[in-house]
Structure 1
Amino acid sequence: MTLTRQGILIVICTLYAGMAKGFQEEPFAQKTLVRGAPEIIHYGLDDFHSDPMTMAMCQDSSGVKYFGNQDGALVFDGENWQRIALPNKSLVKALHYGSDHKVYLGGFNEFGTIERDGFGRYHYHSMVHLAPEDDLDLDFVYDIHEVQGHVIFRSVSKLIAITGQKAFTIPTGGFYTSEVVNDRLYMANWSDGLKVFDLHTMNFELLISKESYEWNPIVSITAGNSAEMLSIFTRDGQVYSYHLESKDFSLARVLFDQKSTNQVTSVIRTKQGDYYVGTLSNQLIMLTASGETIPLDKTRISLQDESVNSLFESDNGNLWVLLDNGIDCINLSSPASIVFNKASVFDVNIHHGTMYIATNQGVWASVNPPGTEPFMHMDFEPIPGLEGQAWSLQTFGSQLLCGHEKGLFVIRGNDSQQIPGTDGVWKVIPIAEKPGQYLVCTYYNLQLLTVDSAGNFRIRNVVSGFSESSRDILQSEPGVFWVCHGFKGVFRIKVAPDYQRVVSVQHFEKAGLPAPYNVNVFSWNGEAVFTTQAGIYTFNDSLNLFQPHPLLNKVLDPKKETRKLLDTKHRTWYIHNDEVGFFNKDDQFTLHSEPFLQTRGAFNKQMETILPLINGVLIGTKKGLFAFDLTPKTDSLTSYPVRISQLSFTKGDQRLLLPLENPLELQAVQTQNLRFEYAVPQMDMLNEVRYSYQLSKADQGWSDWEEKPWKEYTALTPGTYEFSVRAQSKLGESFLAASRTLIVRPPWHQTTLAFLIYSIMGLALIFLCVKGILRLIEQQKRRTILEAEKQNKILRLELDRMQLAQEKNQFETAKSSLEGDLILKTKELVNYATLLSRKQELMIELREELVRLEDTTKNEKTRRDLKALIRKIKSRLNNDDYIKVFEANFERVHHQFFSELRERYPDLNSKELRLCALVKMNLTNKEIAPIMNISIRGIETARYRLRKRLSIHDDMVEFLEKLSP
């Protein structure tokens, strides 16, 4: 859905001499009036997914809209569309909502009603069976009327009148248009002219012959300005007046010139008495109740298509335009409109009947002055020479000044002239104590501006001693000014009486303020107040300190940023938390921001524009200039209810509908992805409705506002719930909340019947258990007897086992004793072998020492004695008797070892057997070498050869240990 806004402002005002951006106020014009041109919403193929050509429309009492098009009927509840096809797939040219609260429909040889079922879906119910079978050749039903207690379906050739469940046919012969005015049915045919038909007498009365309106086909018959008058519109654009009593018939106006090929296609008279005329090729024409004719072509509004098929006024006063290519809704009831949307707006001023707008693209002036006519179009053109950033527009006397990035300019009509010596000007403020003198506030300094009697402005001098930007400035007393810098904090400067220089400067970076940046100064109730990101402050002179303002911080939440205050006589406007609003000083300071929600977040920070007018306001934003009509309305929209349109849940991959009962009982399985869908049908979706919801026992409270028109819950536990939904438009309008009670039943296994069954089954189970237990006890007795016998057998066997165990223990004891002896003897052998090794080592050392002495002694006798002693020692070393003794003892201790070794390796010699015994005793090579009287190297070689013979790949000691001990 695409939104198109045509902003047109109608303003009647005298000269506006207002506040200089919040410094001092002069009375606003008392004749100021704000009326905005309507917002237009386009609905097309992407919205309703059906043929875009639409020909008929009606609305039921709940606000749901029904449309007839090429594919059947469309139903729109403000959020969702549904298409309904007729049995013969006919297009629908006629719709009517009757006093019996039924929607009647007519197509080709088909007529009936559209009804909503208990699940929220719409269905077609044919009424063709009520008519006589011979009269069913209707062709198309072009109109449906309710008149004199009957519902009339009109085709070209006949009328079918229905009352209750009875129907009868009235041959007519060639009536091509019909209307009901004040419960009277008027019809025009090709042969005679305009007639009135009375269902009580079944008579046709000719009112106007076709020659009287020059044979031009009549398109519409509507009520006139009085009960006795009719307004008659022909296809070629003639508008006639007919007086029912005097029978006076006259041409009132002609809508098209003689060369035009345009045609009237439809006409509607609104509740306000205005006429809207749909045309074939030039959109709409408006005839005001005051007699003004206003073409509403593309220069004023922009419809999707040039050709209008039909028009309809909804209950809340909005105009629906049915086109060849889509549906457009013109929001005639909205108080908001956009006046200008070509650039970002920083200021606006109405001067000598012309509206001027300061933007980031220069200054724009309205080509035509504001007027009083509805739909008046305002064109804007840029003023040459003022291209670039314009900051302010201010009226002083009869002259308009513009603060611009290029300097200060005087604007006269559509011309501008720069005041010499100026550059980068924010704005101009009057000096209170010096009439006719002003301070020019620039990017760099302050300048003194004067005006002579001829109205000529000139810069007299630069005020020396202060060179900060002075965009935000306020005079508090003669010669004293507050200046707020966006980043440096607040300055209070005092200027010399001749305004040549600044004599003192006080700089406050904080001094009680929450921060030195984003501070602004305004005048409120005659005092200087300072807005910050955390509240509003005033200055205490005695303490030389900023302190929170006691009243304004109660009105405006200090936790939110306030950026602007604009004080008028009875009302204060504010920008608070990026939201514009006002509070009246005589209604307990109640905040009013709802009508302006659509401007939220669109402001130029620190340069917001608010121009209050009588019964209205102009607000400048980054999106353009908005106009708001604040005239109190007698027809409040708050009586419109929110409608819960459908309830559904998911089962597998399907979404199934639930009945719209209240209360509604559900099974637990039906709460899987339980969806509530809702809408406000009366709102026509014109105001971007937002919703808030809550479900008792599931939600903590009301949800945040969101545009999504549905809410889902998953797997609700059994219990009673209350679902509530409320709505709010972007203009702040609230609507009656809707609610629905849900009773979630527990699953079958948690119901009372289930628990009764559980109880019966439990009792049966207890009975069976008792019976089973008694049987088990009997079986247990028999089993006990058998078990006792078995235990006796086991006891005897156990005694035998114990005896055997005792004998085994005795054997184990003896075995342990023998093993202990074996270990002891083995230790003794090891000790013996160790002592033997040490003895051999000692003998070897002694022999070597004697040999050394032999070599060194010179006494021959001593040498002979030494040689004899060496031979004796050598013989003792070569004597292996001690080895034999060791082997004998080893074999007695490990008698199986040598037996198994000889058996497995019979080719082992005595030395190899001896080496095996020594290795098994875990002696080192160093200990084995002296025992066997060979070197350690020889032992290593012998062990290597032995390993090869025994095919030992692992540790040799572990291998020998595995042999018998």
Structure 2
Amino acid sequence: MKMRRLLFVLPLFWAAVTQARQVIGAPSVLHFSKQQYSGGGQTWDADMDAQGILYFANNEGLLTFNGHGWKMLPVPNHTRLRSVKTDDSGRIYAGAQDDFGYYRADADGVLRYTSLKPLIPAGEREFADIWNIELYNGQVFFRSNNKIFVYHGNRVQVYHAPGEWRLLCRSEQGLYAQDARMGLLRFNGNGWKQLSRAVAEKQLLLTAVLEHTADTLLLFTYKHGIFRLHNGQLHPFTTPAAATLQKARIQCAMAWKNDQLLIGTAEAGCFILNRHTGAIVQQFGLQEGLQHNSVRKIFPDGGQNLWLALDNGIDMIRYNNAIKQIHPDKHQYLSTYAARVFNGKLYIGTSDGLFVSPLDDRQPTSPSRSQNNNVYHASLRPQEAPEGAGSKTFSTNPPETYADLSFQENRFRKVEQTGGQVWSLSVSGGQLLMGHHEGAFRIGEKLAEPLLKGTGCWLFLPQATRTLIGCYNGLRTMRQTGGSFSKTLQVNVLFESLRFLTAEQDSIVWASHPYRGVYRIVTDKDTTLRFTLFNSRHGLPSDNNNFVFRIRGRMVVATQAGIYEFDPVRQTFAPSPWLFPVLGAVPVQFMTEDPVGNIWFVSNKTPGVVDFHRNHDGKPYRTMLFPELKGMIVTGFENIYPFNEENIFIGGEKGMYHINYKKYRQPKKEPRVMISQVNARGDRDSLLFGGFLPSREAAFKSLSASFSGFHFEYASPACGHGGNMEFSYRLEGFDPGWSEWAARTEKDYTNLPHGRYTFAVKARDHLGNVSSVATYAFRILPPWHLTAVAKSLYVAAGLALAWGAYILQKRKFAAQQRRYQRKQEQLILHHQYEKEQREKQLISLQHDKLATDIQFKNKELATATMHLLQRGKLLFAIREELLAAIKKIEPLPHYPFKKVMRLFDEAEQDTEDWEQFSRHFDEVHNNFLSVLKKRYPDLSTTDMKLCAYLRIHLTTKEIAQSLGISVRGVETSRYRLRKKLEVPGDTPLYDFLLAVANSGPMEHSG
């Protein structure tokens, strides 16, 4: 019996112990004000669809968030939206004032509202606000104060309130409602069955109903805390947190992972409780960074982020984030500069003193130095392991090992006598030392013991026989004996402010000055030294912003152009042969290494790590930045304390940041990406795609050529990736390849030519995981002058033009041919003319020649004629004279004279002269004698001679002389000739002879 009582008391005792427990690490809280989402202050409900889009019931309508941008959709009747619920079919049910219905994306991804009020039976359509919406057994339940509406199968059924409906909620096992008169009821499929009338009798206002055990329910009330309902009886759920919750007034509650409860209150923010004991695990209110303490709805997304619908704004708590924030002082945000885990406590140095919190559940491990060195060297690439790599900057004490310290209980207190600026924390000789604005201190159990006062101290550099202190005015040294330190001594000569120190050997120390360069200090004794200043004349990129660190046993200088190392042979600096290729020529302000050899650094206000245990892109390391903390660290006083892979502490402007690197680098779900909006721009802008539908399911759009500009927006749902997303896109049909990765979430294209396009985008998280590709396809139609119809018209017009051109060309050719023909005719005529002219010229020449020949022949003929005439005349004269002489001779000798007379006759009848004469005569007179002979073959030689002489117009006397006869004899011969020729009496003989010669020999018939 006693044991049973003990078992009953133990949970209460545990609850009493843990009810006020607040963890060290507070997750970051993102604020969304009404100015950001352009809505009303009050938000009543929240839910998420399958795409990861969040929906909020806001005073001004349905508010949506896709991980990047907000959209507000006013309710059609312009009233307040009180409730929202999504289902698997893509519907978003909404409850407003005097209306309820659902939004659903159309083929363009735009949400369209459909009211269900017309389906309500006539006479039941008057109601006020719809406060709750629940999905149960394929039905949708809407609660107003006097009616519960059930939508199923395109009909609406109404359940009237016996008194007043005050709650409608669903748990893991059933659907519950509260009525002011009947108390708590449960839906059995056909109606409502009463579970507890005591709820009505005690006048409780329920805000949530959850299963506690198999036969027990947890009832959350607005003003009376939490009750357990077992067998119809109410029992207060008594925990030390009950009074707090009762006073805070519970507005909503829900079961969560790991047997936890999420509770939203009206006055104290959000609580996370142990489901079985009721112990407070964590609380979030104004003090923890919320915008408002009134939480009306809590919604956990898939990444275990908590979304809070507030009375004024919306908050997201990144509860499961690997990066958390530590606030040592609960009452103010202090800048932090140092952290150290020492002797089971966590120390954090701030701008207002040193704070300490004890650590529970300690699991110390003490590996030997050789084990540490083995782990350390395992992280190095063989060719890069420098000499002396075993020398480490960590404490020589065995390290303490803890799991994620952010879940430790927050019991920070301020260490006494540490008020003011704390610069550093170091461990030397088993003692915790603090560099402070007012000096150097050893931290005891309760207070700080001063070791040096009067000057500020930046840091400590433990060595084998001493500890060096970098101070505002130079270098100090002190020795340790047991647990005590000797008096600090000033190291002479160098009196510069030395905020960065590292050792090359016990006698050689390197220090950096913010704007002079780097000092190499050689210490002979504790109080004497030699130093050499190295600056840009010795290979450093600049005299300013050089910081010395010891990494893997080697002194390196972090500069504004990468990591440099000292070459002792050449006495100059050069880019580090093993770190410069890793980090590149980027500005680095801080460097340190963790116990397993990873290098942590700060560059451009962003912390990062070079992880030598993860390969990436063919390299034996991976460089990762933490963009979540960009600009949030203390600029100029960067500090990273990598205690172990689950506890990395980074100084920040508002508290200390804690990174669980082991959790941060764990693989997460594949990131998702969505195309949230597509706009076409032209003479008027047009929304093509609204984003509330998977883009691959969007209707394919064919757009006119007036739309040549396009605006694409894309996002990754905010679940689980902390907002550290990068995107790469391409427009298939235009871009040659994928773009570079960038955080930009929109892209514009202008002056796209007509054609088919597909916009594709993918997302990548901080671990390099790449999402599947989201696409949106569309088509730009060609302008009217490039359409198929226009092309057909162009073809027809082209054919018509070609035909017209052909006809025209044909006509032109015909005309040209006619012109050519005319030209040819003209040419022919001209040619003929020229030919005729040439012929005329030739004829003329021939005539001239003939004339010349005739003239010549005539001359010859005349000569011959004259010769004949002269000869005939001569012969005639000789004959006459001879005859006259003969007559005078008496007696006349007859014989000799006869012989002479015969000679005269022979001379007169000489044929040779005649033949020559006739030949010349025919040549001159167109064969006159030949034609005449052929026509009149009976003509004698004398007749022929007479004709010839008549033709050339010889006188009768000349003819007589030529023929050797008398004139009368000529007349006689002419008479005879007329007879032979049968010349008519009225026709002159000359004309007749000429006509006979011209008519040719065949014309004569007789």
Question: Normalising by structure 2, what TM-score?
Answer: 0.65
Question: What CA distance in whole angstroms lies between the structure 2 residues aligned with 1:627 and 1:77?
Answer: 28
Q: Once the two structures are superposed, what CA deviation does each residue of 1:640-688 show, in whole Å capped at 9, x if it has no partner?
A: 3211122111233544435856684544625432111222234499637
Q: Once the two structures are superposed, what CA deviation does each residue of 1:465-484 show, in whole Å capped at 9, x if it has no partner?
A: 55555433322334333334
Question: What CA distance in whole angstroms lies between the structure 2 residues aligned with 1:548 and 1:71?
Answer: 60
Classify the secondary structure of the residue corresponding to 2:723.
coil
What is the CA distance between 1:765 and its match in structure 2?
0.8
Question: What CA distance in whole angstroms lies between the structure 2 residues aligned with 1:700 and 1:623?
Answer: 45
Q: Contact 1:285/1:295 (CA < 8 Å) preserved in 2?
A: yes
Question: What CA distance in whole angstroms lies between the structure 2 residues aligned with 1:38 and 1:60?
Answer: 25
1:871 paired residue number: none
Candidates 147, 165, 168, aligned match of 1:178: 168
Classify the secondary structure of the residue corresponding to 1:93.
strand
1:759 paired residue number: 795
Candidates 491, 494, 502, aligned match of 1:474: 502
* Structure 2 portions without partners, runs of 5+: 1-21, 362-404, 825-1006
Letter in 2 for 1:347: A
What is the CA distance between 1:413 and its match in structure 2?
6.6
Q: Contact 2:667/2:767 (CA < 8 Å) preserved in 1?
A: no
Question: What CA distance in whole angstroms lies between the structure 2 residues aligned with 1:774 and 1:477?
Answer: 105
Q: In the comparison of the two structures, how many residue pairs are matched?
A: 746
Q: Contact 1:597/1:731 (CA < 8 Å) preserved in 2?
A: no
Q: Once the two structures are superposed, what CA deviation does each residue of 1:153-197 show, in whole Å capped at 9, x if it has no partner?
A: 334444433333354444452332122223422222222322222
What is the CA distance between 1:208 and its match in structure 2?
2.5
Q: Does 1:348 align with 2:343?
A: no
Q: Once the two structures are superposed, what CA deviation does each residue of 1:687-728 show, in whole Å capped at 9, x if it has no partner?
A: 375544333464565556665532211111234444233445
1:582 paired residue number: 609
Classify the secondary structure of the residue corresponding to 2:705.
helix
What is the CA distance between 1:114 and its match in structure 2?
0.9
Candidates 555, 560, 568, aligned match of 2:594: 568
Question: What CA distance in whole angstroms lies between the structure 2 residues aligned with 1:572 and 1:286?
Answer: 35
Candidates 296, 321, 328, aligned match of 1:334: 321
What is the CA distance between 1:39 and its match in structure 2?
2.6
1:910 paired residue number: none
Candidates 566, 576, 580, aligned match of 1:553: 580
Q: Contact 2:415/2:447 (CA < 8 Å) preserved in 1?
A: no
What is the CA distance between 1:638 and its match in structure 2?
4.7
Q: Once the two structures are superposed, what CA deviation does each residue of 1:868-898 show, in whole Å capped at 9, x if it has no partner?
A: xxxxxxxxxxxxxxxxxxxxxxxxxxxxxxx
Candidates 271, 274, 292, aligned match of 1:305: 292
Q: Does 1:365 align with 2:364?
A: no
Letter in 2 for 1:78: G
1:906 paired residue number: none
Q: Does 1:253 align with 2:279?
A: no
Letter in 2 for 1:561: P
Candidates 273, 277, 287, aligned match of 2:273: 287
Q: How many percent of aligned residue pairs carry the same amino acid?
A: 24
Letter in 1 for 2:804: L
Question: What CA distance in whole angstroms lies between the structure 1 residues aligned with 2:577 and 2:200?
Answer: 77
What is the CA distance between 1:581 and its match in structure 2?
1.9
Candidates 200, 203, 210, aligned match of 1:222: 210
What is the CA distance between 1:632 and its match in structure 2?
2.5
Question: What CA distance in whole angstroms lies between the structure 2 residues aligned with 1:536 and 1:83?
Answer: 50
Q: Say if 1:624 and 1:736 are closer, same or farther in 2 by CA, change over 3 A.
A: farther
2:433 paired residue number: 401
Letter in 1 for 2:451: I
Q: Once the two structures are superposed, what CA deviation does each residue of 1:211-236 show, in whole Å capped at 9, x if it has no partner?
A: 69733222210132x45542111222
Classify the secondary structure of the residue corresponding to 1:133.
coil
Question: What CA distance in whole angstroms lies between the structure 1 residues aligned with 2:532 and 2:30?
Answer: 56
1:17-416 alignment, distance < 5 Å: 36-171=25-160, 173-174=162-163, 175-199=165-189, 202=190, 204-210=192-198, 214-224=202-212, 226-243=213-230, 249-253=234-238, 257=243, 262-289=248-275, 291-293=278-280, 296=283, 298=285, 300-340=287-327, 342=333, 344-350=335-341, 356-358=347-349, 361-365=351-355, 386-387=419-420, 390-397=422-429, 399-412=431-444, 415-416=447-448
Letter in 2 for 1:217: L
C-alpha RMSD of the superposition: 4.2
Q: Contact 1:619/1:626 (CA < 8 Å) preserved in 2?
A: yes
Question: What CA distance in whole angstroms lies between the structure 2 residues aligned with 1:305 and 1:478?
Answer: 56
Greater CA deviation, 667-676 or 485-494?
485-494
Question: What CA distance in whole angstroms lies between the structure 2 residues aligned with 1:90 and 1:670?
Answer: 39
Q: Contact 2:181/2:200 (CA < 8 Å) preserved in 1?
A: no
Question: What CA distance in whole angstroms lies between the structure 2 residues aligned with 1:504 and 1:704?
Answer: 48
Question: Normalising by structure 1, what TM-score?
Answer: 0.68
1:804 paired residue number: none
Q: Say if 1:607 and 1:98 are closer, same or farther in 2 by CA, change over 3 A.
A: closer
Question: What CA distance in whole angstroms lies between the structure 1 residues aligned with 2:597 and 2:483?
Answer: 37
Question: What CA distance in whole angstroms lies between the structure 2 residues aligned with 1:218 and 1:150?
Answer: 23
Question: What CA distance in whole angstroms lies between the structure 1 residues aligned with 2:437 and 2:406?
Answer: 37
Q: Contact 2:40/2:59 (CA < 8 Å) preserved in 1?
A: yes
1:856 paired residue number: none
Q: Contact 2:23/2:409 (CA < 8 Å) preserved in 1?
A: no
Q: Once the two structures are superposed, what CA deviation does each residue of 1:847-872 show, in whole Å capped at 9, x if it has no partner?
A: xxxxxxxxxxxxxxxxxxxxxxxxxx
Q: Does 1:427 align with 2:452?
A: no
Q: Contact 2:182/2:200 (CA < 8 Å) preserved in 1?
A: no
What is the CA distance between 1:61 and its match in structure 2?
0.8
Letter in 1 for 2:509: F
What is the CA distance between 1:62 and its match in structure 2?
0.8
Classify the secondary structure of the residue corresponding to 2:613.
coil
Question: What CA distance in whole angstroms lies between the structure 2 residues aligned with 1:416 and 1:778?
Answer: 119
1:933 paired residue number: none
Classify the secondary structure of the residue corresponding to 2:795.
helix
Classify the secondary structure of the residue corresponding to 1:761.
helix
Question: What CA distance in whole angstroms lies between the structure 1 residues aligned with 2:334 and 2:298?
Answer: 34
Q: Contact 2:702/2:778 (CA < 8 Å) preserved in 1?
A: yes
Question: What CA distance in whole angstroms lies between the structure 1 residues aligned with 2:671 and 2:610?
Answer: 26
* Structure 1 portions without partners, runs of 5+: 1-32, 789-965
Classify the secondary structure of the residue corresponding to 1:632.
helix
Q: Say if 1:168 and 1:483 are closer, same or farther in 2 by CA, change over 3 A.
A: closer
Question: What CA distance in whole angstroms lies between the structure 2 residues aligned with 1:303 and 1:504?
Answer: 54
Q: Once the two structures are superposed, what CA deviation does each residue of 1:803-856 show, in whole Å capped at 9, x if it has no partner?
A: xxxxxxxxxxxxxxxxxxxxxxxxxxxxxxxxxxxxxxxxxxxxxxxxxxxxxx
2:708 paired residue number: 672
Letter in 2 for 1:267: A
What is the CA distance between 1:572 and its match in structure 2?
1.9
What is the CA distance between 1:627 and its match in structure 2?
1.8
What is the CA distance between 1:447 and its match in structure 2?
2.5
Q: Once the two structures are superposed, what CA deviation does each residue of 1:526-576 show, in whole Å capped at 9, x if it has no partner?
A: 33344444444445556666565443334322x223443322331423326
1:317-716 alignment, distance < 5 Å: 317-340=304-327, 342=333, 344-350=335-341, 356-358=347-349, 361-365=351-355, 386-387=419-420, 390-397=422-429, 399-412=431-444, 415-420=447-452, 423-432=455-464, 434=465, 437-453=466-482, 455-459=484-488, 461-464=489-492, 466-467=494-495, 469-496=497-524, 498-502=525-529, 518-539=545-566, 548-557=575-584, 559-575=585-601, 577-578=603-604, 579-588=606-615, 589-599=620-630, 602-605=633-636, 607-622=638-653, 624-632=655-663, 638-657=669-688, 664-667=700-703, 669=705, 671-683=707-719, 687=723, 691-696=727-732, 698-699=734-735, 702-703=738-739, 708-716=744-752
Q: Once the two structures are superposed, what CA deviation does each residue of 1:313-340 show, in whole Å capped at 9, x if it has no partner?
A: 2232222222333333323233223325
Q: Say if 1:45 and 1:636 are closer, same or farther in 2 by CA, change over 3 A.
A: same
Question: What CA distance in whole angstroms lies between the structure 1 residues aligned with 2:815 and 2:484?
Answer: 128
**In terms of Rg, which structure is larger?**
2
